[in-house]
Each structure stands twice: as structure tokens, then as C-alpha cells.
A and B are shown apart, each in its own frame.
Chain A
Amino acid sequence: MRQDHLITATQLSRDDIETVLDRARAVADDPAAYADRHAGRVLALCFFEPSTRTRMSFDSAAKRLGMDTIDMGDVDSSSVSKGESLSDTVRVIEGYADALVLRHPSEGAATLAGERVDVPVVNAGDGAGQHPSQTLLDLHTIREDHGLDDLTIGIMGDLKYGRTVHSLAAALTEFDANQHFISPESLRLPRSVRFDLHETGAQIREHEELEPVLDELDVLYVTRIQKERFPDENEYHRVAGEYRIDADTLDDAADDLTVMHPLPRVDEIAPDVDETDHARYFEQAHNGVPVRMALLDTLVENANLDGDEGTEVDR
């Protein structure tokens, strides 16, 4: 991967993805070999929105590479509450760190940050836009179970606002994947994501119900339908109930179906699914650490190579 930033999954080629995932596998197999690889370097965590998994797994990944992390803290206690622009905030933090992880409530925030700074920027979620590092760990999880070619995947839930969905759908076009999208009419894929999928000639089908496609699937990727997307609470409960799965739902599924979820879940996957062989969402979350180690390693190495005018670093 020869990229400065990771902003959107649409920028990733098959080669880029496989480079990071191969490295993630190497990291998982021999973590000790990576322990001091980036000692003395600093990663800045800039989260303008609440986060648990993404923030902590980047923190853990950086520390396992020997990096220190600095954290902007909550937005309420930072200069943002004084009205500072994102442009200024990232320009200042650039001077404190060797790379920057950004989550922000506005779509396009990471693109803007990437234009303002020279250190690598990782988009850790921009509004309802993209979440490409989540996609890399999703792909790692899928690859370990099924490989990434000749794959049939169902992506279900909030496809309109779900940034993990937008990134995953885009990245899967680099592989031989049949994508089924299952959602209520009001939460179908947005026009921009559909545009990109059509441009690549991807095989996609859209459904309102899971049942007709369930037995074809190798992977079922479930996402949360958020209450705030519905003006009427009764309507939310009615819709959300139709996209909830439990162990009985999966009776008709293939034996080796993998069920994934970016987490947090509320009640869209019943706890009894946890006990089945299908459940993979906790491993998926754990994969965040080796995959983000591989990603940071790759991006920081690239940035360093640029600094050394392309000279290979002897490790």
C-alpha cells in the first residue's frame, strides 16, 4: 500500500487490502516481532464523537507496536468547545504526533483533515460516510473463515446511515463477491454508494426480507437500526423487530454461515446466537487490534519512506 492516508474504502485496491491483511496475519502469529517496531513514535487519537471499540483498539494497537498515544479527550473539554475549526485543530495536533486517527460527526471531515496535514490520517468514522479501518478488520474476519473470493454476503440493517456498510460494500467490489442488501425501504443504500457499486459493475441485489436469501449466504453482516432515524417510535419498534435474528432464525442457514456485527449491538442479534457456531462478532472486534497494528505499521512506514526519499528502512 503506497498511500498517505486511509480516508475511504473506495481508495483501496485489492493489493492494498491484501497487503494489510497479510501483515495482520503475521502480527497475529508473532506479536513479539512487532513489539518495539515503532518505539518513540506517537499516535494522536482525535475523537469528536463517542467511541469505545475503535478508540481503545487503536490505542492498544499503537502500544503493541511500541508507540505512545495522546488523546484529545472529550470534545466538551477540548478547544473545540471554544469554537476552533477542525482545520486548525488537526494542524496543531500534527505537530505533536507521527499519525492521526480521526472520528468526526460530519461527512468529509477526514478528507479535509488529510488535505490539511502531512502526517498520515486514518478515518475512524466520518458521520454517515465511511469507516475503512473497520472494513479491514471485517475483511480479515471474513477471509479467515471463507476467503474473499466466490463469497456470498448478506448485509442487513441500516444501510443508509451505516458507515461500516458503505465501506465494506465498496471494498468487496475488489473481490469476487455477491452482495445482498437487506433493509427496510427507508434505510436502503444511499445514492452515492449505489453509484460507486454500479460503476464497478458489482453484483448486488436488494431485499426487504432476509428469509429468501438466508440459505445462500456465507456471511451475514448485521448492523444496528438506530431509534433516532425514525420520527415515530412505534414505527422504529415495528421496523427494528423485522430485522432481528435469533438462533431459530438461523436454522435454515448454511452450517458454516458466519454472523458478524460491527458492535455495539442492542437487540438485533439475540444472545442465544452467541452460543451457536455462527457467531463471530467478538472475534471480529478482537481482530481490530492486529489489523490496526498492520495498518498503522504500513502507513507510518510509508510516511517514513517518503521522509527518507524512498530509501528502504532496514529493520
Chain B
Amino acid sequence: MSEHELRVSKIRDGTVIDHVEGGQALNVLAILGIDGSEGFGVSVGMNVPSDRLGRKDIVKVEDRELSQSEVDVLSLIAPEATINIVRDFEVVEKNRVTRPDSVTGVLSCPNRNCITNADEPIETRFDVVADGVRCDYCATILRSDIAEHIDV
């Protein structure tokens, strides 16, 4: 039995998001819009030893599946993440995240003078570029600070 399983128990049905970069677990929950008030069972392991990442976070959510836009943004802050679908204690599906071409409606633009921050009926849209994302409206580039601009 590995160390993280000692700390975080198995779930019966739901999603396990594994190999999240250390320290990003709470941002993963923010992307999923989970703050505990929804009633889902949630387990979080942070800075757990990992062969692949050195230290990793792991998030287990019971009775909850991820939408494509959630997975898209997840891929930006946790590019190494694996998403395991669990049914009756068994992993029935295991997927790596893939970087999307663009993300819509999940990030807010850090440029306060961008039209997307001007009270217009508009969804933000960011193109995914080499080492970050870029606002389709004002061209502002977001790199390491993507997690700070998640708007869910």
C-alpha cells in the first residue's frame, strides 16, 4: 500500500485527479467549483511523494464527473495530471489531460482595460500558446500566473 493511500482513502464512485503539481490541489477544486458546500465527498492530498513529479497533489471527488472545459483548464495548471474514473472501487477509465487549442469562459483577463472586464455580455476566450494562454480580445499573455485568474 503506497504512502498516499495511507493518507487518503479509496472512493467507491467518482473521479480521482492524480499527478497534480504540488500545491495546485486547491486550484483544482476551484476549477471544479467545489468548496465543500455541494455535499460531495472530497479528499485532498498535498505534497505527497511522487516518483514522477517529486511531490504531487491528489484530489478525489465522489459522485462527480468532469466537463470538457474543466479538463481543459485543469491541463493548463496540471499538465501532468491523470484523471481516473472510479466505479465500485475500480478504476474503469484512466486518461491523461491534453492541452486544448483554446479555453472559453473559465479564465478572467488580467488586463483591467480589456473589453472582457467592461461589463459586456461576453465570455472570455484564451488561445493556448507555447508557454501560456493569450486573451483573444486584448492579446494579453498569461504564463505562470494562470491559476490566479481562474474565474469559476
Taking Cβ atoms with an 8 Å cutoff, the residues of A that contact B are 8, 85-87, 104-109, 111-112, 126-129, 191-193, 195-196
Q: How far is the CA of A107 from the CA of B137 in the complex (A)?
A: 7
Chain B, residues 100-118, CB within 8 Å of chain A (1/0): the string is: 0000000000010111111
Q: Which of B33-41, B87-95, B138-146 contacts A (4 or more CB under 8 A)?
A: B138-146
Q: Max chain B CB contacts within 10 Å: which of A85, A111, A195? A: A111
Quick check: A107 and B120 within 8 Å, CB to CB?
A: no
B124 to chain A, nearest CB (A): 10
Quick check: B113 and A127 within 8 Å, CB to CB?
A: yes
Quick check: A108 and B116 within 8 Å, CB to CB?
A: yes
Quick check: B136 and A107 within 8 Å, CB to CB?
A: no
Quick check: A109 and B115 within 8 Å, CB to CB?
A: yes
Q: How far is the CA of A191 from the CA of B131 in the complex (A)?
A: 13
Q: Max chain A CB contacts within 10 Å: which of B134, B138, B141? A: B138
Quick check: A87 and B113 within 8 Å, CB to CB?
A: no
Taking Cβ atoms with an 8 Å cutoff, the residues of B that contact A are 111, 113-122, 129, 134-141
Chain A residues contacting B114 (CB-CB under 8 Å) are 106-108
Chain B residues contacting A126 (CB-CB under 8 Å) are 115
- Given the known interface contacts A108-B135, A112-B120, the answer about A191 and B115 at a Cβ–Cβ threshold of 8 Å is no
Chain A residues contacting B116 (CB-CB under 8 Å) are 108
Chain A residues contacting B134 (CB-CB under 8 Å) are 192, 195
- Given the known interface contacts A104-B115, A111-B115, A111-B136, the answer about A191 and B141 at a Cβ–Cβ threshold of 8 Å is yes
- Given the known interface contacts A129-B138, A129-B139, A192-B139, the answer about A107 and B119 at a Cβ–Cβ threshold of 8 Å is no
Q: How far is the CA of A92 from the CA of B141 in the complex (A)?
A: 32
Quick check: B120 and A86 within 8 Å, CB to CB?
A: yes
Quick check: A106 and B115 within 8 Å, CB to CB?
A: yes
Quick check: B121 and A107 within 8 Å, CB to CB?
A: no
Minimum-distance CB pairs A-B, first 8: A108-B137, A107-B138, A108-B115, A108-B138, A192-B139, A106-B115, A109-B115, A111-B137
Chain B residues contacting A105 (CB-CB under 8 Å) are 113
Q: Can you list 5 residue pairs at the A/B interface with Cβ under 8 Å? A: A86-B118, A87-B121, A107-B113, A107-B114, A108-B138
Chain A residues contacting B136 (CB-CB under 8 Å) are 108, 111
Q: Which residue of B has the minimal Cβ distance to A113? A: B115
Q: Which residue of A has the minimal Cβ distance to B129? A: A195
Q: Which residue of B has the minimal Cβ distance to A83? A: B119
A226 to chain B, nearest CB (A): 15
Residue from the list A8, A86, A196 in contact with B115, Cβ < 8 A: A86
Q: Beyond A108-B138, A129-B139: 20 further Cβ-contacts under 8 Å? A: A8-B139, A85-B119, A87-B120, A87-B121, A107-B111, A107-B113, A107-B137, A108-B115, A108-B137, A109-B115, A112-B115, A112-B122, A112-B137, A126-B115, A128-B113, A129-B138, A192-B134, A192-B140, A195-B129, A196-B139
Quick check: B139 and A87 within 8 Å, CB to CB?
A: no
A295 to chain B, nearest CB (A): 22
Q: Which residue of B has the minimal Cβ distance to A104? A: B115
Quick check: B141 and A195 within 8 Å, CB to CB?
A: yes
A266 to chain B, nearest CB (A): 23
Q: How far is the CA of A192 from the CA of B118 in the complex (A)?
A: 20
Q: How far is the CA of A87 from the CA of B139 in the complex (A)?
A: 19
Q: How far is the CA of A72 from the CA of B97 in the complex (A)?
A: 48
Q: Which residue of B has the minimal Cβ distance to A10? A: B139
Q: Max chain A CB contacts within 10 Å: which of B115, B117, B121? A: B115
Q: How far is the CA of A107 from the CA of B117 in the complex (A)?
A: 10
A213 to chain B, nearest CB (A): 27
Q: How far is the CA of A129 from the CA of B115 in the complex (A)?
A: 11
A135 to chain B, nearest CB (A): 15
- Given the known interface contacts A105-B113, A112-B115, the answer about A85 and B138 at a Cβ–Cβ threshold of 8 Å is no
Residue from the list A8, A85, A192, A193 in contact with B120, Cβ < 8 A: A85
Chain B residues contacting A8 (CB-CB under 8 Å) are 139
Chain B residues contacting A195 (CB-CB under 8 Å) are 129, 134, 141
Chain B residues contacting A85 (CB-CB under 8 Å) are 119-121
Q: How far is the CA of A129 from the CA of B139 in the complex (A)?
A: 8
Chain B residues contacting A112 (CB-CB under 8 Å) are 115, 120, 122, 137
Q: How far is the CA of A85 from the CA of B120 in the complex (A)?
A: 6
Chain A residues contacting B119 (CB-CB under 8 Å) are 85
